[in-house]
């Protein structure tokens, strides 16, 4: 018999009042724990990395119970995608900061040392330390290392407002809203067994886990390393997992009842603190400073779902699919009938939870209508009712229907369950080696993401890097204008507005204006004894033409006063006609009223990235090229060089692909080559004259190769303009010589230097320019 | 007999070596003293105005002997025009700063009190004070008030170098250069009588001057107020003027001889200091810190001509014509024969000087060839030789020839001499009333120049005002890029780079970027609790079109995210069609990728100029209009309103002329009016819808009319963006009400506010925004 779960009247109200879109709105936040492990899968005994700043103040990256247990927390987002991407970014950031360590991808702990060797997180707050010590005594440290994902959800406030106004209930809004979340929380408690079935992914555990659990379990490998309980999909949600020792009844009838029951448990010493109530779902206030106070005075702001395992099949421990399913599940929990849920119902829900844990989806369903019904049958009905709901709310949208079909299939076929998949894969090797391999693989994936911030790929690379560096150390951010790459960074009360990563409050407006104006730049540098190309300024083509006899035959550059990506610049390296000279001026005058004619300076050009009193990186750019191996053709060499994940098209990677277009073919032709030629081993074949990264050029880090004397000149140049952040373009005759009065020349100072090229060069190491910006902005280090 | 003065060989060398252009190059500086007088022409006994800063440190405006004697000093310029304009600007600056005082336009003192009532300049340096007291005792304070002009000149260094290289003399360059200036100095000493004749302009003096001089002189008025000596054109250059008591011989043979003789005079107590040697021409080193040391070690850098009177016929005391003549005279002094000039020649030169003073141009010529020759005959020959020189050097340029013709005429006709003109004009009234009237007239001329900096009229008005304010307080400046209005201000070691007056180091780059981006500005203001127009951002026309039903019928503004002089903005005050709505978006998207749709805010718009913690000025703009008088037609009213010197065409004045073009005529037609209508007395007729100053609008100062509550909001807005200098555009419903949460709205914050509109409004007082910028940049007040 198909049970009617849905509250059809409520559903109809939602639809009649045009709230069927709004009900899908919501706010999403994720938290997850991962144990840090060494390269052998043993719990890392190293301290929480300093790069993450203060554990108490970094809102994104903390420690949980153990010093080895990293906790990652996303901000609240309006879409699942954003929360998902942010969690991925956090995962990447933490992974890349760990030296010779991995994030352990299972809810079940890695290879553990003895209880007393497991380090409890060291926190500045002593009462916090004491609490963790007491928990360690009560639950054992090994158990405390069980990790998971918390899914925080609230409905769109606007939706709740509208619903409240439409339903005309006899309550104030606060009471109505609390009622909504309490109803959902009760239903989640009741049907949590289904969520555990569909998200459970911790079937196997290591022999180093709690002895009693290991003793009761079976093992499938010869060395008795990998243990499991038959049918158990989530050790974490079992008695061997991390839950309160007894079944504790805390009413979800009202906020007041909830608080009253919690406080009773604390005063009877059943719980050390209200925080020790490890319910599968928690009702939460907006601010976490004082749970009881906040809940009583401001009501429920969101729900925290706590029964979701880390899923080793996915890098971040959860799939987008699961996130969406949980969301649908929660909407469903709102739209189904609201039945009494007292202590008895509470016990039945716990029975069903344990029935699922011990017997899987084939387990018996307790309570409700039929005592002979199985969890599986109930689950199928449940999902079918969800489909009914969806057909009402979103008749034309089938992606969610397909998702439900998939989950229905998983209910019908227990071997399709995440836990079953994990278990069968683990059986190929061992618990340890399987998860270690996953950890290794995910770390590689994180590495490939190094240069980007997942979810923010539309921003410039420099801004993505800066944001990641901010998150790493717990500096919060707000994106004020995505298109402009305009962000607000904040640490405590300290706010910093930043555009395009290096346009900050640390440079004054006049400094930027000095750099923007080539004439002024040259005057300022010259007044400070720094060498710049000799030359003069023209405001009139006629006067420039009259000077042709003076300049002819000399190597010169003609360029507009203000640069725009090199537009309007002409270089005459050898002799040139009056006609060409005139054309060059006319072109330059199209870009500015003032045009500079300068000596063409010899040497190689190096970009010095100056930040504060330091040269953070030095880069030299080389035109697109391939190096022969005596086997592959130029075409093949280009194809292979383009495989580098840092090299893509469209300026969203630190390097651009080498094209084999007309320009490159012509350039080869001038060298009497074609793309089908096979260069000798070690032979460098250039494909372009210009060295721009945008046309496939290589960026080569020279930071350690160039002597301090040149670095000092770059720093002095920045200081002359008063710049904190700038890119100094210097021509150097021979980097093997020390700088002298004559063997260098400053071409330009740029006020918005790209930082990604110094972090992800073609050859060289990450110069961490992103970190340096934050050090300077927030006076750190 | 025509004496051949010119050294034909030297002249030919100059021409043969193509130096005939270079010889006209040079460096020019002017110094002049003016006594300050009260409105009755009595010497002002007030202290040197504080606005001019420290007398010792302000390089442009100092005091001379007396506290009442202002000394104005130009920088060194490469053209006479620049030096002239700068002196005019200095004169304007000082005149405008004086309250109820004038600058006395004669070399001869104004109405003087008793000797001991004349205030000696009070200087921080006590040895300096002591020196002035000793001079007062020696010469008398009245004599010390005699004022004049010093003309500083050096040849173009490049010219001297080239000449040195071509002439292949048997000296080093330093010796050669000293030789050039010594030769010119000797010749100036010899022929100075002619310069005095052509520049003397102090024939009459007041009865309050030194008693002995008054007693010896004659008077031409009944009240015996105005005194003179017959034929005397320059009291200043006479024994009654300011010169050494005895004829002192100081050799001009070599620098060493010059120093030796000077030091002898000091050690014999003939002179208090080498500075007391009041020679008509001085040889000067580059730096004035220690004359003797510098001259001996670095040689002569320039010549100082000291015999030129203040000419009351010209506002700045000297005409451009005279400046050019003196220049030609100095070139001539270089190119004539070099004859021995020992003690005897020195005496003869002094005799000729006094001959000219006592007998005018008809006086006897001493020394040289003919004892019977007159100064006049000699002067005519001299000028003819100058013409010969000019014909060689500049055969095709006749403006200088015309100048020489004019001076020849003055030599021939003594009544055309400046002194004769002054004397004849003075005779119409009295010495006092004539010069007082001139002073009054020049002050009016300075007032009309208030908004501009003479010689820098190509710069923006805001920059001109800032530069003048800088000069006034002795902050030096360098123009780094004229077209960009980019300047360097410097006081001691403190440098400030400023572009367009308000783009300075006091605003950070991020502050400017916040203001530049309307979306970010609104977020930042909103986060700080400041009211901005409600609205939203569109990145896509389609999405904007979909929202048409939401917006239709409401008063809205559609504008690109970044403003460029109001381009791409559409206002819909009433209802609007989908088509117009679409067009407005398409137009806005042409200017930016992001377009804002905002509520159209009611009230009147006011520009708050915020500087630091202060609202410096508040301006409201009114569309072009005239106020009727019941007599004149609209056309006549416009014509008369346009007479205001502040109202010109071409954005070089604080206000623009009202046009009577198609737009204005159409606007009148819509009011059923024509330009020939006669508005009633007091009737305001508007000629335009828009209130831009550029189309003849009026700027009305409201700084004192608007309550502190609005000023605080403007200051908070600036602070929210972190701005030091900005223009806050605020809509205010009723300025009679105090600001509340709802009755104002911030439209924009501008990072480069014009300051001239607050200094020279159509109605209101000068809010001295220029001064405020300097106060903040240099931490003053």
Q: What pLDDT digit, counting tens, does each position of A461-491 carry?
A: 999 999 999 999 999 999 999 999 999 999 9
Per residue in B677-725, pLDDT (tens digit) is 999 999 999 999 888 888 999 999 999 999 999 999 999 999 999 999 9
Contacts of B725 in chain A (CB under 8 A): none
Q: Measure A348 CA to nearest chain B CA, in Å.
A: 49
Contacts of A505 in chain B (CB under 8 A): 508-511, 722
Determine, for residues B593 and A483 on separate chains, whether the beta-carbon distance falls below 8 Å: yes
Determine, for residues A510 and B523 on separate chains, whether the beta-carbon distance falls below 8 Å: no
pLDDT mean over A574-585: 90
Determine, for residues B510 and A523 on separate chains, whether the beta-carbon distance falls below 8 Å: no
Give pLDDT, residue A370: 58
Tell me what the pLDDT averaged over chain A comes to: 93
Stretch (H or E) spanning A31: strand A26-38
Q: Which candidate from B480, B504, B561 shows the least CB-CB separation from A509?
A: B504
Q: Which candidate from A480, A497, A510 shows the least CB-CB separation from B505?
A: A510
Determine, for residues B503 and A514 on separate chains, whether the beta-carbon distance falls below 8 Å: no
pLDDT mean over A123-150: 88
Q: Measure B549 CA to nearest chain A CA, in Å.
A: 17
Residue B516 φ then ψ, to 5° = -70, -25
The chain B residues in contact with chain A (CB within 8 A) are 480-481, 483-484, 486, 496-499, 503-514, 517, 519-520, 523-524, 539, 561, 593-594, 722, 751
Give pLDDT, residue B569: 86
Stretch (H or E) spanning B627: strand B625-627
Give pLDDT, residue A781: 64
Q: Which candidate from A496, A504, A513 shows the least CB-CB separation from B499?
A: A513
Determine, for residues B497 and A512 on separate chains, whether the beta-carbon distance falls below 8 Å: no
Give pLDDT, residue B70: 96
Per residue in B153-164, pLDDT (tens digit) is 999 998 999 999
Single pTM value for the model: 0.88
Contacts of A517 in chain B (CB under 8 A): 480-481, 484, 486
Contacts of A501 in chain B (CB under 8 A): none
Q: Which residue has the tokens 């002359």?
A: A720
Ranges of beta strands (E only) in A251-298 are 281-284
Determine, for residues B507 and A506 on separate chains, whether the beta-carbon distance falls below 8 Å: no
The full 3-state SS of B216-266, as one line of letters, equals HCEECCCCCCEEECCCCCEHHHCCCCCCCCCCCCCCCCCHHHHHHHHHHHH
Question: Residue B222 — pLDDT band, cuts 50, 70, 90?
Answer: confident
Helix (H, G, I), strand (E, B) or coil at A103: strand
pLDDT mean over B316-334: 97
Question: Residue A34 — pLDDT band, cuts 50, 70, 90?
Answer: very high
Q: Measure B488 CA to nearest chain A CA, in Å.
A: 10
Contacts of B504 in chain A (CB under 8 A): 508-510
More confident residue, B287 or A445: A445
pLDDT at residue A2 is higher than 60: no
Question: Structure tokens of B545?
Answer: 């079109």
- Residue to test with chain A: of B510, B594, B721, B773, most A Cβ within 10 A: B510
Contacts of B481 in chain A (CB under 8 A): 517, 519-520, 561, 594
Q: Measure A511 CA to nearest chain B CA, in Å.
A: 7
Complex ipTM: 0.85
Residue of chain B nearest A515, judged by CA positions: B497
Q: Which candidate from A486, A510, A594 shows the least CB-CB separation from B520?
A: A486
Give pLDDT, residue B565: 61
Question: Structure tokens of A388?
Answer: 């009914």
Contacts of B508 in chain A (CB under 8 A): 504-509
Q: How far is CA A372 from CA A66, A368, B62, in A?
A: 44, 10, 109
The chain A residues in contact with chain B (CB within 8 A) are 480-481, 483-484, 486, 496-499, 503-514, 517, 519-520, 523-524, 539, 561, 593-594, 722, 751
- Residue to test with chain B: of A466, A480, A498, A509, most B Cβ within 10 A: A509
Q: Which candidate from B480, B509, B561 shows the least CB-CB separation from A509?
A: B509
Determine, for residues A517 and B594 on separate chains, whether the beta-carbon distance falls below 8 Å: no
Determine, for residues B503 and A510 on separate chains, whether the beta-carbon distance falls below 8 Å: yes
Q: What is the DSSP letter of A664?
A: H
C-alpha–C-alpha distance, residues B438 and B676, integer Å:
41
Determine, for residues B486 and A517 on separate chains, whether the beta-carbon distance falls below 8 Å: yes
Question: Structure tokens of A220?
Answer: 């499938």
- β-bridge partners, A227: A205, A219
Q: Measure A454 CA to nearest chain B CA, in Å.
A: 22
Determine, for residues B539 and A486 on separate chains, whether the beta-carbon distance falls below 8 Å: no
Question: Residue B227 — pLDDT band, cuts 50, 70, 90?
Answer: very high
Q: Measure A497 CA to nearest chain B CA, in Å.
A: 6
- β-bridge partners, B148: B309
pLDDT at residue B1 is higher than 70: no
Rg of chain B over CA atoms, in angstroms?
Answer: 32
- Residue to test with chain A: of B489, B508, B723, most A Cβ within 10 A: B508
Give pLDDT, residue A731: 95
Q: Which candidate from B484, B510, B751 shows the least CB-CB separation from A504?
A: B510
Per residue in A523-558, pLDDT (tens digit) is 999 999 999 998 888 989 988 988 888 888 888 999
Residue A545 φ then ψ, to 5° = -65, -40
C-alpha–C-alpha distance, residues A184 and A334, integer Å:
5
Cα diameter, chain B: 105
Q: Which candidate from A508, A517, A593 shows the least CB-CB separation from B507?
A: A508
Helix (H, G, I), strand (E, B) or coil at A548: helix
Give pLDDT, residue B445: 94
Helix (H, G, I), strand (E, B) or coil at A304: strand
Q: Measure B493 CA to nearest chain A CA, in Å.
A: 13
Q: How far is CA B337 from the centre of its chain?
A: 39
Contacts of B593 in chain A (CB under 8 A): 483
**First and final C-alpha spacing in chain B:** 68
Give pLDDT, residue B371: 64
Least confident interval from A427-431, B10-14, B481-485, B545-549 = B545-549
C-alpha–C-alpha distance, residues A108 and B244, integer Å:
106
Question: Residue A624 — pLDDT band, cuts 50, 70, 90?
Answer: very high
Contacts of A519 in chain B (CB under 8 A): 480-481
Q: Which candidate from B505, B561, B751 shows the least CB-CB separation from A722?
A: B505
Determine, for residues A497 and B506 on separate chains, whether the beta-carbon distance falls below 8 Å: no
Q: Which candidate from B480, B505, B539 shows the least CB-CB separation from A520?
A: B480
Per residue in B120-159, pLDDT (tens digit) is 888 777 888 888 888 888 899 999 999 999 999 999 998 9
Contacts of A513 in chain B (CB under 8 A): 486, 497, 499, 503
Beta strands B655-656 and B647-648 are parallel
Residue A228 C-beta-side C-alpha neighbours within 13 Å = 22
Least confident interval from A105-109, A201-205, A272-276, B613-617 = A272-276
Determine, for residues A751 and B514 on separate chains, whether the beta-carbon distance falls below 8 Å: no
Question: Residue B562 — pLDDT band, cuts 50, 70, 90?
Answer: confident
Contacts of A719 in chain B (CB under 8 A): none
Question: Residue A369 — pLDDT band, cuts 50, 70, 90?
Answer: low
Question: Residue A1 — pLDDT band, cuts 50, 70, 90?
Answer: very low
Q: Which candidate from B498, B499, B508 shows the least CB-CB separation from A505?
A: B508
Q: Which candidate from B506, B507, B517 shows the least CB-CB separation from A481?
A: B517
Q: Which candidate from A483, A507, A520 shows the least CB-CB separation from B486?
A: A520
């Amino acid at each position: 018999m198909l049970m009617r779960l849905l509250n059809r009247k409520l559903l109809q109200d939602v639809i009649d009042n045009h709230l069927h879109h709004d009900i899908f709105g919501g706010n999403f936040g994720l938290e997850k724990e991962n144990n840090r492990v060494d390269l052998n899968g043993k719990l890392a005994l190293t301290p929480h990395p300093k790069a993450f700043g203060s554990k108490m103040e970094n809102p994104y990256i903390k420690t949980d119970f153990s010093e080895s247990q990293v906790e990652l927390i996303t901000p609240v987002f309006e879409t699942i995608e954003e929360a998902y991407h942010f969690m991925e970014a956090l995962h990447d950031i933490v992974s890349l900061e760990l030296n010779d360590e991995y994030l352990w991808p299972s809810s079940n702990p890695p290879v553990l040392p003895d209880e007393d060797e497991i380090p409890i997180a060291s926190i500045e707050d002593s009462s916090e330390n004491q609490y963790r010590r007491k928990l360690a005594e009560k639950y054992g440290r090994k158990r405390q290392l069980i990790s998971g994902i918390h899914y925080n959800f609230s409905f769109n406030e606007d939706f709740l407002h509208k619903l409240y106004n439409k339903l005309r209930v006899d309550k104030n809004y606060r009471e109505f809203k609390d009622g909504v979340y309490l109803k959902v929380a009760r239903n989640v408690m009741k049907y949590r067994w289904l969520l555990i079935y569909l998200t459970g992914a911790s079937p196997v555990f290591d022999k180093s886990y709690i002895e009693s659990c290991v003793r009761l379990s079976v093992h499938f490998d010869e060395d008795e390393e990998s243990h499991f309980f038959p049918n158990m999909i989530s050790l974490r949600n079992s008695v061997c997992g991390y839950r309160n020792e007894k079944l504790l009844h805390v009413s979800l009838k009202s906020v007041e009842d909830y608080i009253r029951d919690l406080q009773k448990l604390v005063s009877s010493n059943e719980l050390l603190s209200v925080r020790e109530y490890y319910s599968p779902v928690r009702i939460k206030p907006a601010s976490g400073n004082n749970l009881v106070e906040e809940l009583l005075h401001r009501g429920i702001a969101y729900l925290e779902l706590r029964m979701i395992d880390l899923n080793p099949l996915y890098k971040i421990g959860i799939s987008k699919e699961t996130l969406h399913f949980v969301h649908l599940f929660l909407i469903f929990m709102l739209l189904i009938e609201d039945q009494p849920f007292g202590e008895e119902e509470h016990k039945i829900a716990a029975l069903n939870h344990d029935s699922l844990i011990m017997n899987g989806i084939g387990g018996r369903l307790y309570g409700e209508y039929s005592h002979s019904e199985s969890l599986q049958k109930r689950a199928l009905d449940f999902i079918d009712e969800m489909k009914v709901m969806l057909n009402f709310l979103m008749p034309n949208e089938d992606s969610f229907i397909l998702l439900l079909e998939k989950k229905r299939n998983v209910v019908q076929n227990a071997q399709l369950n995440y836990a079953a998949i994990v278990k069968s894969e683990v059986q190929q090797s061992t618990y340890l080696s399987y998860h270690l391999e996953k950890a290794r693989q995910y770390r590689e994936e994180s590495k490939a993401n190094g240069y980007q911030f997942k979810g923010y790929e539309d921003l410039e690379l420099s801004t993505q890097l800066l944001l990641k560096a901010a998150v790493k150390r717990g500096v919060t951010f707000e994106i004020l204008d995505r298109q402009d790459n305009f962000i607000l960074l904040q640490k405590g009360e300290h706010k910093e507005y930043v555009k395009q990563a290096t346009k900050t409050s640390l440079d004054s407006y006049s400094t930027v204006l000095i750099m923007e104006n080539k004439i002024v730049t040259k005057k300022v540098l010259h007044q400070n004894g720094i060498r710049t190309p000799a030359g003069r300024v023209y405001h009139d083509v006629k006067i420039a033409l009259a000077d042709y006899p003076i300049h002819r035959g000399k190597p010169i550059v003609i360029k507009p006063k203000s640069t725009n990506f090199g537009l309007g610049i002409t270089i005459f390296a050898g002799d040139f006609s009056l006609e060409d000279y005139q054309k060059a001026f006319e072109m330059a005058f199209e870009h500015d009223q003032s045009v500079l004619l300068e000596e063409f300076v010899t040497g190689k050009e190096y970009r010095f990235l100056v930040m504060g009193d330091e040269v953070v990186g030095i880069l030299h750019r080389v035109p697109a090229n391939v190096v022969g191996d005596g086997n592959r053709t130029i075409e093949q060499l280009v194809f292979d060089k383009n495989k580098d994940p840092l090299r893509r098209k469209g300026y969203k990677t630190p390097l651009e692909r080498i094209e084999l277009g007309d320009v490159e073919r012509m350039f080869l032709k001038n060298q009497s080559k074609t793309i089908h030629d096979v260069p000798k081993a070690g032979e460098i074949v250039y494909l372009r004259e210009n060295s721009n990264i945008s046309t496939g050029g290589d960026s080569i880090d020279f930071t350690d190769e160039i002597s301090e004397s040149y670095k000092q000149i770059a720093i002095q140049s920045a200081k002359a303009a008063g710049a904190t952040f700038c890119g100094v373009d210097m021509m150097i005759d021979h980097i093997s010589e020390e700088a002298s009065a004559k063997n260098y020349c400053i071409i330009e100072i740029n006020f918005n230097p790209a930082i990604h090229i110094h972090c992800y060069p073609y050859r060289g190491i990450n110069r961490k320019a992103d970190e340096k910006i934050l050090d300077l902005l927030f006076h750190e280090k």
